Amino acid sequence: MRGILLCLLFAVFTSLAQERRPPPPLPDFPDYPAPTELNATSSGEVYFSSVTPGDCKWLILADQILLATTVKAQLFLPAGASATQPVPAMVIIHGSGGILPSREIAYGKWMASQGIAGLVVNSYAARGVTEQTPYGLRVAIVSDADEATDAYGALKFLNQHPAINPNKIGVMGFSYGGMATRAALDERIHQNLAADVAPFALHLDYYGPCHFDLKTAETTGAALFSLRGAQDKSNDLETCARLENSLREAGSAVGSTIFPTAGHGWEMATPRQFVETLNPAPCKQVLMDNGDWQLDGQTIAVPSLNSREQKYQFRLGLLGQMKQSCMSNGYIMGQDKNTHELSQRLLLQYTTTYLLN
């Protein structure tokens, strides 16, 4: 099932460890065309420049040498958008199951219907992940740090579009993408990736797990709103509240809505059900100033790694240690039309207040 976080990854990881076999090789980057040269009518399939950090260490430390990456995206441009009538935009970051027609694509189309350009970013395909890639390995090959980086690549790209208002660009993400959306609020990341453009005007975190803390001392100042389900055990609500309060203290207006009967991924087409899968919510993962991690109080040194292969190997080890030490089993996910309707009302309020006005 799409959306089962890490389950297959650790089945693969455990098997490899037991048999002392190397992990599957990294896929090559796709042979994409050069980044799209934008004009006032550019829409549909587009390409933009990004980088691949692999881990949050290389996002918060300045002057890192990162692998150049071209990313494919789908741009939904509202009717009537032009250089003389520029429109707001929303960057849409996918969940760990990849781009879903019922979620990322649907939101891109909805944005355009509301007069907001919607850019659906495909971070998986940009790094060689395909539908044939075993599901669990996707989150080892592409990290949430990569998705945060692509969000800023998309921000810089949209700044070049003549029909888009560069001061009214938001970012929203789902689950894995929600984690990236929240990370993108960190001013260190903005400065390291996109200091030459204004930061996002709005961040929307849809049920992004809260098990990691970047120890953000200063945000970009943009507003952050989260939407979570009380029955979604992939979101530890107390941990999320503490994390959001720290972001509030770091400079952002932060609001949270908790839907009392909701689980995870309420926009999905698959039926709502309990999924037995490894769940990172019990883990306490804290990023230290030097880029090392603390996992439940134990320091995990992040070595100086340059190659994509080395970073992949490190990430496999980190995820494996999380599986061994702190993950629990399962959470509710799947379609919930009532919660979806309620969340759409909030989305309309947020976009009207922060992008359209």
Averaged pLDDT, 57-79: 95
- For CA atoms 215, 238, 55, 197, the dihedral sign is negative
Task: Specify the range with the lowest mean pLDDT, choosing from 17-26, 140-149, 182-191.
Answer: 17-26
Quick one: CA dihedral 94, 95, 100, 104, positive or negative?
A: negative
Q: What are the structure tokens assigned to 291, written together?
A: 């880029």
Q: Phi and psi dihedrals of 55, rounded to 5? A: -155, 155
Whole-number pLDDT of residue 16: 46
Tens of pLDDT along 181-214? 999 999 999 999 999 999 999 999 999 999 999 9
Position 330 scores a pLDDT of: 93
Burial class (CB within 10 angstroms; exposed 0-12, middle 13-18, buried 19+) of 340: middle
Q: What is the SS3 assignment for 57-85?
A: HHHHCCCCCCEEEEEEEEEECCCCCCCCC
Interhelix angle 144-158/176-183, rounded to 10 degrees, is 60
The mean pLDDT value for 257-262 works out to 98
State which H helix or E strand residue 51 sits in. Answer: strand 44-52
More confident residue, 1 or 277: 277
Q: Residues 277, 280, 284, CA angle at the centre, nearest 5°?
A: 160
Output phi, psi for 323, to 5 deg. -65, -40
**By the 8 A CB rule, do 215 and 294 touch?**
no
Q: How many CB atoms lie under 10 A from the CB of residue 325?
A: 12
| Average of per-residue pLDDT values in the chain | 93
Residue 4 has pLDDT above 50, yes or no: no
- The amino acid sitting at 176 is Y
Q: What percent of the chain has pLDDT over 70?
A: 94
One-letter amino acid identity for 330? G
Reference 283, options 301, 296, 298; nearest CA is 296
Buried b (16+ CB within 10 A) or exposed e, 195-231: eebebbbbbbbbbbbbbbbbebeebbebbbbbbbbeb
- The total of other beta-carbon atoms located within 10 Å of residue 63's CB is 5
Contact by Cβ (8 Å): 314, 236: no
* Residue 20 pLDDT: 56
Q: How confident is the model over 276-299, as a mean pLDDT?
A: 95
Residue 341 CB partners (closer than 8 Å, separation 6+): none
Contact 93, 173 (CB under 8 A): yes
Question: Global pTM?
Answer: 0.94
Sign of CA pseudo-dihedral 283, 214, 310, 125: positive
CA 263, 268, 273, 278: dihedral to nearest 10 degrees? -70
Span 64-70, mean pLDDT?
A: 94
DSSP single-letter state for residue 127: G
Cβ contacts of residue 348 below 8 Å, gap of 6+? 114
What is the pLDDT, as a whole number, of residue 19? 44
Element spanning 225, H or E: strand 223-229
The domain 35-272+334-356 is classified under which CATH number: 3.60.15.10, 3.20.20.140, 3.40.50.1820, 3.40.630.30?
A: 3.40.50.1820
DSSP 8-state secondary structure symbol assigned to residue 27: P
Cα 134 to Cα 157: distance, rounded to the nearest angstrom: 31
**Residue ranges of the domains in the chain?**
35-272+334-356
Dump pLDDT digits (tens) for 312-339: 999 999 999 999 999 999 999 999 999 9
Of the candidates 259, 242, 270, 151, the residue with the CA atom closest to the CA atom of residue 202: 151
Helix (H) or strand (E) segment spanning residue 45? strand 44-52
